Structure 1
């Protein structure tokens, strides 16, 4: 599957998230205000931050499609990670606001009883976000987009947040009105956790960190190729839909250039077949006993 096609498909998921989050933001904040639900309003604010994140990812996906140039010999694929990093900071700031608002309501004792319509909105939101999660998760696996994968799990967390909001609202009707405000605080903490997780994952990638299990898989693939005496080094870095791999191997010192090059080509072919869109540089050294 070509990289351009993958990025185009990934943009569909970003557009879906933007439309869904925008609709839910308006719906939740409006109903939260009408129904006097702090939890539903906080959930709406959470969705507003998700709109920003999804727009940032969409812009980054467009930038990622720009061709290689003099200043970007590896392409622009990492643009999506920069967008994710910016979105993480925005989400963290909003989480602080939601938490402090919830705590203020708790100490002021300003418990408000939401209407039954708030429960319906919360349940519908959870169902919608779970459907979006399934779509984006499957799409991210198909196109191998790390940004869309992160967005899909953000969709899932939003579905769970909506369920938590419903629990808080139901608590009001059970005679425990403070549960709605507590739900707002919990939502703020969930937003914060999501932002921290996105930041950590993005920071690792931007500093050329790579999954150890993925490196082990690369090692296993190369180790099965005939003609290789030793795998001396493997390095890899992710650029979103594309990964760049550097491999150092030792071979029979009596091999000529053509034979050594054939081994190099076969390594590249095997890694592409098993891992998808990867670009591999193979450094060959003579094996000395």
Structure 2
């Protein structure tokens, strides 16, 4: 028993100076990656076959493509969590993921009847969103205790304008996501592609993740605190925009929101790509 307690302490303590990713955080990341990879392969690779391969039927294809792109970006993010040393480089994203998992859990309860209860992926979905709403915040709180809270001089920092704009965008998107999650009917009649109250809430969960990470990351001015987030977003938005081309027939070109949503994603993608190039090349 004493040896087991010693092993547990080693899992829950950094191996060197403060601010490091804990061993238990790495193992949680490795545990989550296969679930995200499987969801990515099904939703992004086979968006028209969710009845056969996923926990519930999703129509039309654009919604599973958005979800799949998000899970694909999540695979990259959690891979980086399992390999980086400094906690602050991944910490802000955990708060967005925690928000997302809670909204997914609530949506699951509210729309229980929509699931294919006989499919094994339903069991995986329920398991994932029963565990992660507790696991992700707990890991964040545990690892956050290692953060020194002091910024080292000379570190590359985000421009003040980027932090202000990012924080404002994050606050607006988060507030909008909460409203849409509570009243998904607001999306049903106006969204660029067909959504149900269930899929509207699922999309609102992804919007909330995006909003929270953009809002929280501005609290730490170091570029190193944003680099992995920006890399993940570039990957995710690239896949979503490719998906738009793949299933353009899902969209209503006469709907002004079609051009607002697609144009907004393209503009944001262009902006963060320019930011990344500028920060990495000096």
| Greater fraction strand | 1
Bigger relative contact order, structure 1 or 2, given CA contacts below 8 A and separation 6+?
2
Q: What's the TM-score once normalised by structure 2's chain length?
A: 0.37
Return the index of the structure with the highest Cα Rg.
1
